Each structure stands twice: as structure tokens, then as C-alpha cells.
Chain A
């Protein structure tokens, strides 16, 4: 089936953002955000609710103008050449932006015609995309009867009508069940394999981990850390939780944990929590080694870093709360993060 994406031209960035600011009245949604997205990659914008992710996407897709700063998409300035930008992009936002009173196929045909594909072109493109993304069966049912996952899928497909060079996905899987989330992930992977550049916002570290080759962590309108998912996770590390059978087992368990993780175990009653820089040993290995050392174990768990852990580490705050002077902390952490990435 036809190629969906157009490869980005050469090495020039698909998206380039400098000092982007956006004010809504008293709220500063973006306060000097920088971002560079390499062509043909998935770039993740990771951040909690209200961080400014959607604002970035809205500016880049020409829905909103920035208060200050510069941004180009596919080589075109978003403020000066919005028409050229619109020719090059696809947008799938936070809701399923489709007409519920039409069928999936009708939606694609109508949007295809409004996207200047022509009547015939829109019809063929709609049929191709429906077949390719396995929505043919539901294609002639009203979108109002679709499940949440199918709605997102038809919405995503509607953003592909013009085979965009750059695709913006704003929290494409928020609120979806795990199965539907995998479906969306599969589509994104396929598109990128064909050369489409994707800027994806998400609140989930594992989503960024699964899809993105580079991640920018956004907090309060600026990027506080950047790097590959592996680099970010390595900086944050994971936690190994062990609960032993009795006081007598503590010393032996601590020794095993020190040896296996290189971290410093913290003991609290019968629980031992060990912060691990980088990769944690697997649970079976932990159980085996603790067993071999003759330690009676109640429970063993490895906690992968969540977005909350990333935040806690980078800002000293959890995602939900808004502590004082977080911005300054964020800057300092960012500097350190950069050193870490180059070291």
C-alpha cells in the first residue's frame, strides 16, 4: 500500500523551537521553551497536566500564535508561513475530532475533500487508510457507536489524509484501555518507519519509552530535561523493594542488595528500599540470590520509574503539587541533566 509519509529533507530539523513564550492573561503557559526534533523520529514531550504540552502543539499546528519566540515546522516559520505549515502537518488532538453523526468512512471522505484531495482522491484515500488500519468492518457505522479506542484510531487516520511530513499527536492514548493503546502505538511505529516525523505529548513515561527516540520533559512551560528514554531512566533509576521474614534476615538481605544493585539499601521495619541507578536486577534473580544467601523473603518488587519519580528527581516536587520556586530548581536540574547527557 502507498507510502504514508514523506521523509524529512536532509538533516535540517523537522521542528525547531526557540524561546517560545505564550501568555493567557495572567497565566504564562510557555516561558521560553526550546525544542529540536530530528526528521524521521518520534520526539516525546513528557509532562504533567498543565505543563504546556498542548500549547506547544497548538502553536506548531498554527492554531494559536506565540507571544514571543520562533518556531519552524518542516522548514516553514509558523507565524510567517502558516499555509505552508498546514500543507505539511497532521494533527490528532486530545479529543476525537470527528463528526459522531457520520460514519467513519464519511468522516474521512468529508475531511479529505476539505483537505483538498478532491472527491475521487478523498474516496480512494479513505478506503486505503481504512483497509490499512483495519477499520473496514466498522467503517460504515456511525462514529457515535464506536468505542473510545476506535474513535481515537479514526481520528488518527483523519490526520493522515494528506500524508503529513510532520504529525502532532497530543496525548493520543490518554484514557484508553491497554489494548487500544497498543493499537495506537503500532500505528505510530509504522508511520515513523515510513519516514514521518512525530511529535507526541504524553503524561506516561512508558509511552515515551516505547515510542520516542528522544524525550523532552516539560514543566511549567519549559523543558527541564532532555535525552533518550534510556538516559532519562538511567538518571532516575528504579527502586527495589524487599520485605523479609524477620529481623534476623535484614543483615543478609542488605548485603545481597548492595552487591546486586550497587545502591544503598534503606531499612524500615522489615522493609528494605534500595534506589538503583540505572537498570535494576530482575525479580527472579533477586529471589534466587536472596534465597541462596539463606534470607527468608516475604515480598520482592522492582518499581520502574514513573513520571512522578522523574518529576520528584528533576524538580523535587511531585507532579500534582505546585511547590514554591520550582522554576529555579527546574533550571538547575536541567543544567545538571545536560552535563549528565554529555558525560
Chain B
């Protein structure tokens, strides 16, 4: 209950940030459409989807997952900023349940992430993307995306806690972009050189993208002869999330509870 109440308070904090920075809000609304157009038409003119199909249909699950990866950098920056300002210490000196703070923050991020995802989906729908396997599968895919985002948010929380300063976090944050590119999100992995293909298919992101493609019925899912994570994307995504959560939740909670020892 306490965790839930604190989570809601932290969601409100995030929403207040958005209210005070209408620019961010506009960017949040406009960016997805820009990304769909930019990637969809620019890359789409050159990239052939394996097994045929519309590139924008292929691309959307990649964009959905990529916004989830951005949760890693935003959590990292937020947590490092709070820590640098002394806000984290203030919270740790209050009778708030200490575990409630990282739990609340990651929960808050997932709630705002859901809004972002819905906006991105609306943009996709406007440019020809569809969920072909019905509502049940679509909801399943949204569930997978939120789980993935939640996992990334915990990883980011831990990274934020171990950052020496907010500036370092700011400087490292853009690295999530190349991290998202090293996957099957934008380009099929079949044509890549062997070593790169291994790296890209091993990226947990690729499994999540493949899982979304199969749940939404978008092209490019489960290429024959692919590695295990891509032929069993749903299982691989769930295993990845379970593994990363099992590592980073206790690490973050411990670090938050006992920081500065």
C-alpha cells in the first residue's frame, strides 16, 4: 500500500514536470510521428523486409521497443540528478519505506511510458501499421513492451545510483541510441556479417522486437535458421526480463537502502 501511494506521488511528480515543460510534452507528441516518417520512409526505401511486407509495419515494433530502451537513460539521468542534488538523501532521511522510492520511480516511469506507447501506436496506425492478430494478442504485445520498459527502467535506476555525477549520466545517456541500433529493430539481421549478427541477435532488444512482431502479426518475425532468442522470442524476452529484474531490483534496492556506507 505504501509503495503504491508513493508510486502515485512520484507519477504526479513526473506529470508536473511535463506540465511545466510544455516543450517536452509537444516533443513527446510529435517525436513519434517524426520517427515513423523519418525511419519508415527513409530507411524503408532501401531496406527489403525478409519474407516481404511493408517496411513501416516491420519498423513499428522496433520503435516501440526503442522507446522502452530510452527508459533506461531517462531513469539513469533522473536518479543521478536526484542523487546529485541531495534529493535522494532527503528521501532516505524520511520515514518513507526506502524500497518504495525506486519501486515508485520505476512504476511511475512505466505509467508515463504507457502513454508514450499509445501515442506512438496512434502514429503507427496513421501511417499504415496494423495489429493483425486481434485484441488479445495486441494486449499481450503491450504487456511485453511494458515489462521490457519496466526492466530497462530498473537497469537505468541502478546505473543512475552508481553514477559519480549527474553530468556523467547526461553524457552517457545518448549511448542508448547505438545500443538500440545493434539489433533487429530497424534492419534485418540476416545480411549482417557473422560476428555482428551474433551481437545483434543476442541483444535482449532483438528478442523483444521479434516477440512484438509475432504478437502483432507484423512481417519479419521468426526468420528460419535464426538463433534461439529469435525463433522463441516471447520466451526469450520473458527470460531476459526475469533475469535482469532478478539482478537489478535487489541491487538497486540495496544500493538505495544502504548508499554511502
* B90 & A91 in contact (Cβ 8 Å cutoff): yes
* B96 & A98 in contact (Cβ 8 Å cutoff): no
Among the 9-residue stretches A82-90, A236-244, A257-265, A292-300, the one with 4 or more Cβ atoms under 8 Å from chain B is A82-90
Q: Given known contacts A96-B85, A115-B94, is B20 in contact with A102 (CB within 8 Å)?
A: yes
A61 to B91, CA, bound (A): 11
Among the 9-residue stretches B11-19, B169-177, B241-249, the one with 4 or more Cβ atoms under 8 Å from chain A is B11-19
* B87 & A89 in contact (Cβ 8 Å cutoff): no
A197 to B168, CA, bound (A): 38
Does residue B52 face the partner (Cβ distance < 8 Å to A)?
A: no
User: Among A63, A93, A103, A162, which residue has the most Cβ atoms of chain B within 10 A?
Assistant: A63
Among the 9-residue stretches A106-114, A206-214, A307-315, A316-324, the one with 4 or more Cβ atoms under 8 Å from chain B is A106-114
Number of A-B residue pairs, CB cutoff 8 Å, is 79
CB-CB under 8 A from B9, the residues of chain A are 110, 113-114
Does residue B45 face the partner (Cβ distance < 8 Å to A)?
A: no
Within the complex, what minimum Cβ distance (angstroms) separates A185 from chain B? 21
The proximity string for A residues 65-109 relative to B, scoring 1 for CB distances below 8 Å and 0 otherwise, is 100000000000000000100110101011111111111001000
CB-CB under 8 A from A83, the residues of chain B are 95
CB-CB under 8 A from B87, the residues of chain A are 97-99
* B20 & A142 in contact (Cβ 8 Å cutoff): yes
A56 to B13, CA, bound (A): 31
Could you tell me the dominant secondary structure of chain A's interface residues? Answer: loop
A287 to B94, CA, bound (A): 56
Does residue A62 face the partner (Cβ distance < 8 Å to B)?
A: yes
4 interchain residue pairs of minimum CB distance: A97-B86, A97-B90, A91-B93, A86-B95
* B86 & A114 in contact (Cβ 8 Å cutoff): no
Complex: chain B residue closest to A103, CB-CB: B20
Q: Can you list 26 contacts pairing A with B, beta carbon distance less than 8 Å? A: A58-B89, A63-B93, A64-B261, A83-B95, A86-B93, A86-B94, A91-B93, A93-B86, A93-B90, A94-B86, A95-B85, A97-B85, A97-B90, A99-B82, A99-B85, A110-B9, A110-B13, A110-B16, A111-B90, A113-B5, A114-B6, A114-B91, A115-B94, A115-B96, A142-B20, A162-B95
CB-CB under 8 A from B12, the residues of chain A are 110
CB-CB under 8 A from A62, the residues of chain B are 92-93
CB-CB under 8 A from B90, the residues of chain A are 91, 93, 97, 111, 158-159
A166 to B60, CA, bound (A): 55
Does residue A116 face the partner (Cβ distance < 8 Å to B)?
A: yes
Chain A, 150-201, CB within 8 A of any chain B CB: 158-159, 162
CB-CB under 8 A from A65, the residues of chain B are 258, 261
Complex: chain A residue closest to B257, CB-CB: A82
Does residue B51 face the partner (Cβ distance < 8 Å to A)?
A: no
